[in-house]
């Protein structure tokens, strides 16, 4: 009964989304007040229906209803309750439902927060969101229905993939998707502005908090995914430039550029068409990411069941949404000119450089990710692209960006007046060089020049970012939340850069073969193997190793990595043991039984790696702080702008 109810709820949601889209776009277009005011009830209705469907599916999971195919494929009666709920987004159909749920949530949030927006504009925004919802609901119902039945019902389920049986699973997809989906709001704002034919500084002001919050969520989501991969997959890597990782990183890069471009549009009414384009780009990349993961066109660790039919559907959806938005752009953007000016050394300039570098980084990641596809389509043979391509090319764009950040942060709007900051720049740079090189050459015997550069640039950013806030504090001025948020976010970036430099330069990895009683020396640490013993878990059997870790003889920890075999799927999974010690991460994992008690063991010493994720969360915190600044909710009093476009006053 419940699955049918859920299915029916989805169909109703589809209809309501369609109405939402229709009223939202046609209402303002034809100046029908009644239609425009019908949008909000449609939004509410759609949200309720989607929530109903989700509740039905969750209940089926919790109640072990194996007559539902999706539940039978992804759950099991021995699966702990926590994972039975999280299994909802464990595979393709359910994760789509999650997408739809989060889209509905964002739409409701926008509807609630649109009190201060002109009604026609708000209607358009919600209408565009309705189009997106409609597309996803149609896709789900047509190709990926989670409520399909199994007749006769399975006696028990196939169990959730053991890799996903981890607390990280419960958190990573929802937060990641919240970010991904959140860019649809910026997209909707952009489309609404294009439909309206007008884009002013108020528009930027309204769009900023939505974009920054989505960006913050995406930052957290990516960080969680990376962290999860690190301790769950256990090969000690936390970023492999896998197509699916790139699929979430590309919208992030575009989103970062968008956040900065919006600042310029808000402040000076400049870069309007760039901002529009970036808003379209960020969401397009989210959609493209969805496509890449589910269509089977790329080989990846994460791939959901690859299915070309689904691929075709999503591609059609992509063409309509993105093609439509870009066509709108080609039509409206030429009219958005501004006569404002700025100096070479101004804040606007530096933000321009920043965005160009971000887009360049985005372009190289894009090229590398799609290279196999492009090469195949152009008959250039099979191509394969991995970290040896991405790492160096990404750095080429990022290092200049880090350097320019420290300089640009002192630049004023319009007239940079960098000359006033010359002394500050010099002092901060010297201090950074001392600290950075001190760390690199002082703590490590084998340092590379690049490590020193990375560390110096990172410290420089921290010092530069603190100059203005400290100055304000000393002069007794208030620090607006937006400035505080910006400072925090930039410092987060700096910490991430510093940590990444340390990890890339000074990680020690060794695989050793040890018999019980033997010790291996890795870096400054000694690892003594004490043997293995059997361990029993709730839905698995395991072999647990005992390893005593000391540093220069002094005890550090006793660590117990495991190799588990899950009963239902017969998969073997390694549980790594990780300890944080004096800024280093010590990672141990069991390899193979080599016979007569000997085992191969992976040892990794990674300095400062945990800082990478902490830094990401600090960045997200900065974003959240900035987004909550109340300034964004007050419209500015503007003189009627000369570029309020002639002839574009329709609707």
Partner 1 sequence: MNRFLLPLGLFVLLAVVLAIGIRHSPEKSIIASPLIGKPAPAFALPSLADPAHEVRSADLKGHWYLFNVWGTWCGECRAEHEMLLQVHQAGVVPIIGLDWKDDDTQAVAWLTQLGNPYQSVATDHSGRMAIDWGVYGAPETFLVSPEGVVVYKHVGALTPDTWTREILPRVSGLPAGKS
Partner 2 sequence: MKRLGARTLLLSAWLSLAATYTAWAVDPTELPDPKLQARYVALTHELRCMQCQNEALADSPVDLAADLRREVRDQLLAGKSDDDIRAWMSARYGDFILFRPRYSLRNAWLWGAPAILLLIGALVCWRVVRTRMTLLPADHEPLEEDGQS
Q: Among the candidate windows 314-322, 489-497, 540-548, 590-598, which touches partner 1 by CB under 8 A? A: 314-322
Nearest-approach distance from CB 325 to partner 1, in angstroms:
9
x/- map, 358-397, partner 1, by CB under 8 A:
------------x--xx-xx---xx---------------
Local structure of 414: helix, strand or coil: coil
Q: Among the candidate windows 52-60, 86-94, 172-180, 330-338, which touches partner 1 by CB under 8 A? A: 330-338
Residue 448, interface with partner 2 (CB under 8 A)? no
Nearest-approach distance from CB 445 to partner 2, in angstroms:
15
- Applying the rule CB under 8 A, the residues between 280 and 299 that interact with partner 2 are 299
Residue 297, interface with partner 1 (CB under 8 A)? yes
- Applying the rule CB under 8 A, the residues between 466 and 505 that interact with partner 2 are 468, 480, 482-483, 486
The sign of the torsion formed by the CA atoms of 138, 148, 308, 370 equals: positive
Q: What does the alpha-carbon distance between residue 98 and residue 1 come to, in Å, rounded to a whole number? A: 21
Closest CA to 207 of 625, 635, 622: 635
Residue 148, interface with partner 1 (CB under 8 A)? no
Count of residues that interact with partner 1, criterion CB under 8 A: 32
Structure tokens at 195: 């439909």
Among the residues of 114-166, which ranges form H helices? 119-143
Q: Among the candidate windows 33-41, 73-81, 100-108, 387-395, which touches partner 2 by CB under 8 A? A: 387-395
Structure tokens at 564: 């588990």
CA distances from 273 to 179, 193, 210, 329, 563 (A): 23, 11, 19, 8, 54
Q: Binding residue for partner 1 (CB under 8 A) from 296, 387, 400, 531?
A: 296
Count of residues that interact with partner 2, criterion CB under 8 A: 87
Nearest-approach distance from CB 412 to partner 2, in angstroms:
7
Please report how many Cα atoms fall inside a 13 Å half-sphere around the Cα of residue 578, on the Cβ side: 22
Nearest-approach distance from CB 355 to partner 2, in angstroms:
9
DSSP code per residue over 279-311: HHHHHHHHHHHHHHHHSSSS--TTPPPP-HHHH
Please report how many Cα atoms fall inside a 13 Å half-sphere around the Cα of residue 334, on the Cβ side: 4
Q: What does the alpha-carbon distance between residue 614 and residue 605 come to, in Å, rounded to a whole number? A: 18
- Applying the rule CB under 8 A, the residues between 522 and 581 that interact with partner 2 are 531-534, 541-543, 563, 565, 569-574
CA angle 69, 70, 76 (to 5 degrees): 95
- Applying the rule CB under 8 A, the residues between 483 and 502 that interact with partner 1 are none
Residue 199, interface with partner 1 (CB under 8 A)? no
What is the DSSP secondary structure assignment for residue 412, as one 8-state letter? P
Residue 636, interface with partner 2 (CB under 8 A)? yes
Residue 45, interface with partner 2 (CB under 8 A)? no
Q: What does the alpha-carbon distance between residue 12 and residue 31 come to, in Å, rounded to a whole number? A: 27
267 binds, among partner 2, partner 1, none (CB under 5 to 8 A by kind): partner 2
Residue 515, interface with partner 1 (CB under 8 A)? no
Residue 4, interface with partner 2 (CB under 8 A)? no
Q: What does the alpha-carbon distance between residue 345 and residue 415 come to, in Å, rounded to a whole number? A: 7
523 binds, among partner 1, partner 2, none (CB under 5 to 8 A by kind): none
573 binds, among partner 1, partner 2, none (CB under 5 to 8 A by kind): partner 2
Nearest-approach distance from CB 297 to partner 2, in angstroms:
14
Contact 166, 232 (CB under 8 A): yes
Q: Binding residue for partner 1 (CB under 8 A) from 319, 340, 380, 430?
A: 319
Q: Binding residue for partner 2 (CB under 8 A) from 414, 417, 448, 528?
A: 414
- Determine the longest span between alpha carbons in the chain, in angstroms: 85
Q: Binding residue for partner 1 (CB under 8 A) from 312, 380, 470, 515?
A: 312
Contact 565, 540 (CB under 8 A): yes
CA distances from 255 to 277, 359, 496 (A): 11, 10, 18
Q: What does the alpha-carbon distance between residue 645 and residue 195 come to, in Å, rounded to a whole number? A: 13
- Applying the rule CB under 8 A, the residues between 67 and 106 that interact with partner 1 are none
360 binds, among partner 1, partner 2, none (CB under 5 to 8 A by kind): partner 2
Nearest-approach distance from CB 330 to partner 1, in angstroms:
5
x/- map, 152-191, partner 2, by CB under 8 A:
---------xxx----------------------------
Q: What does the alpha-carbon distance between residue 418 and residue 368 come to, in Å, rounded to a whole number? A: 37
Q: Among the candidate windows 55-63, 180-188, 306-314, 509-517, which touches partner 2 by CB under 8 A? A: 509-517
601 binds, among partner 2, partner 1, none (CB under 5 to 8 A by kind): partner 2
Q: Which strands sit side by side in the sheet containing 508-514, from one edge to the other? A: 508-514, 598-607, 584-595, 577-581
Structure tokens at 122: 């708000």
Residue 627, interface with partner 2 (CB under 8 A)? no
Q: What does the alpha-carbon distance between residue 192 and residue 178 come to, in Å, rounded to a whole number? A: 21
308 binds, among partner 1, partner 2, none (CB under 5 to 8 A by kind): partner 1
Q: What does the alpha-carbon distance between residue 83 and residue 165 come to, in Å, rounded to a whole number? A: 6
> Residues 6 or more apart from 152 whose CB is under 8 A from it?
67
Nearest-approach distance from CB 141 to partner 2, in angstroms:
31
x/- map, 313-332, partner 2, by CB under 8 A:
--------------------
Q: Binding residue for partner 2 (CB under 8 A) from 517, 537, 634, 650?
A: 517
Q: Binding residue for partner 2 (CB under 8 A) from 71, 280, 385, 405?
A: 385
Q: What does the alpha-carbon distance between residue 334 and residue 322 come to, in Å, rounded to a whole number? A: 18
Give whichever of 243 and 607 is closer to partner 2, judged by the CB atom.
243
Q: What does the alpha-carbon distance between residue 458 and residue 406 come to, in Å, rounded to a whole number? A: 9
Give whichever of 311 and 651 is closer to partner 1, judged by the CB atom.
311
Length of the chain (residues): 651
Give whichever of 62 and 371 is closer to partner 2, judged by the CB atom.
371
334 binds, among partner 1, partner 2, none (CB under 5 to 8 A by kind): partner 1
> Residues 6 or more apart from 367 whose CB is under 8 A from it?
374
Residue 113, interface with partner 2 (CB under 8 A)? no
558 binds, among partner 2, partner 1, none (CB under 5 to 8 A by kind): none
**Burial state string for 566-597 with b = 16 or more CB within 10 A and e = fewer than 16:** bebeeeebbbbbbeeeeebbbbbbbbeeeeee
Contact 590, 532 (CB under 8 A): yes
Q: What does the alpha-carbon distance between residue 416 and residue 629 come to, in Å, rounded to a whole number? A: 25
Q: Among the candidate windows 65-73, 177-185, 351-359, 444-452, which touches partner 2 by CB under 8 A? A: 351-359
Local structure of 167: helix, strand or coil: helix
Other beta carbons within 10 Å of 238: 21
397 binds, among partner 2, partner 1, none (CB under 5 to 8 A by kind): partner 2
Residues forming the site for partner 1 (CB under 8 A): 273, 277, 280, 284, 291, 295-299, 306, 308, 311-312, 315, 318-319, 322-323, 326-327, 329-330, 333-334, 370, 373-374, 376-377, 381-382
């Amino acid at each position: 009964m419940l699955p049918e109810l859920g299915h029916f709820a989805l169909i109703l949601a589809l209809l309501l989304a369609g109405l939402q889209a229709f009223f939202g776009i046609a209402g303002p277009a034809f100046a029908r007040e009644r239609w425009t005011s019908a949008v909000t009830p449609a939004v509410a209705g759609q949200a309720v229906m989607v929530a109903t469907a989700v509740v039905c599916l969750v209940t089926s999971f919790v109640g072990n209803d194996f007559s539902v195919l999706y539940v039978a494929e992804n759950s099991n009666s021995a699966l702990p309750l926590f994972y039975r709920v999280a299994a909802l987004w464990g595979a393709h159909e359910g994760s789509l439902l999650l997408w739809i749920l989060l889209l509905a949530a964002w739409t409701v949030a926008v509807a609630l927060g649109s009190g201060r927006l002109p009604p026609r504009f708000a209607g358009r925004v919600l209408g565009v969101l309705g189009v997106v919802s409609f597309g996803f609901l149609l896709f789900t119902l047509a190709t990926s229905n989670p409520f399909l039945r199994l007749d006769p019902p399975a006696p028990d389920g196939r169990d959730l993939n053991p890799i996903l049986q981890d607390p990280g699973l419960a958190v990573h997809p929802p937060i990641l998707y919240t970010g991904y989906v959140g860019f649809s709001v910026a997209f909707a704002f952009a489309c609404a502005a294009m439909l309206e034919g007008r884009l002013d500084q108020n528009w930027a002001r309204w769009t900023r908090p939505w974009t920054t919050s989505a960006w913050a969520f995406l930052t957290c989501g990516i960080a969680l995914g990376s962290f999860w991969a690190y301790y769950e997959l256990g090969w000690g890597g936390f970023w492999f430039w896998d197509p699916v990782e790139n699929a979430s990183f590309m919208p992030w890069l575009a989103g970062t550029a968008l956040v900065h471009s919006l600042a310029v549009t808000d402040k000076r009414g400049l870069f309007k068409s760039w901002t529009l384009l970036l808003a379209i780009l960020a969401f397009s990349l989210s959609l493209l990411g969805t496509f890449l993961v589910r269509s089977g066109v790329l080989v990846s660790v994460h791939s959901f069941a690859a299915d070309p039919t689904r691929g075709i559907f999503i591609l059609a959806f992509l063409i309509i949404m993105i093609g439509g938005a870009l066509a709108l752009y080609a039509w409206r953007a030429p009219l958005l000119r501004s006569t404002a000016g700025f100096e070479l050394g101004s804040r606007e300039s530096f933000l321009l450089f920043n965005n160009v570098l971000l887009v360049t980084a985005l372009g190289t990641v894009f090229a590398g990710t799609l290279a196999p596809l492009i090469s195949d389509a152009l008959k250039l043979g099979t191509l394969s692209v991995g970290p040896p391509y991405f790492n160096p090319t990404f750095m080429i764009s990022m290092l200049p960006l880090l350097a320019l950040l420290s300089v640009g942060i002192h630049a004023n709007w319009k007239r940079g007046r960098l000359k006033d900051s010359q002394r500050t720049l010099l002092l901060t740079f010297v201090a950074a060089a001392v600290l950075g090189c001190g760390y690199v050459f002082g703590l490590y015997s084998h340092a590379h020049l690049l490590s020193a550069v990375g560390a110096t640039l990172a410290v420089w950013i921290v010092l530069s970012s603190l100059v203005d806030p400290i100055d304000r504090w000393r002069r007794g001025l208030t620090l607006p939340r937006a400035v505080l948020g910006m400072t925090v976010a930039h410092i987060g970036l700096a910490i991430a850069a510093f940590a990444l430099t340390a990890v890339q330069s000074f990680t020690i990895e060794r695989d050793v073969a040890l018999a019980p009683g033997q010790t291996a020396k890795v870096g400054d640490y000694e690892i003594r193997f004490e043997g293995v013993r059997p361990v029993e878990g709730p839905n698995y059997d395991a072999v647990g190793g005992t390893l005593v870790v000391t540093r220069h003889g002094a005890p550090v920890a006793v660590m117990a990595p495991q190799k588990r075999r899950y009963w239902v799927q017969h998969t073997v999974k390694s549980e790594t043991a990780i300890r944080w010690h004096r800024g280093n991460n010590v990672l141990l994992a069991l390899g193979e039984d080599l016979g007569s008690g000997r085992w191969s063991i992976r040892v990794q010493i990674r300095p400062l790696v945990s800082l990478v994720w902490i830094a990401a969360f600090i960045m997200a915190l900065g974003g959240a702080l900035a987004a909550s600044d109340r300034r964004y909710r007050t419209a500015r009093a503007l003189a009627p702008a000369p570029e309020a476009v002639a002839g574009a006053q329709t609707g």
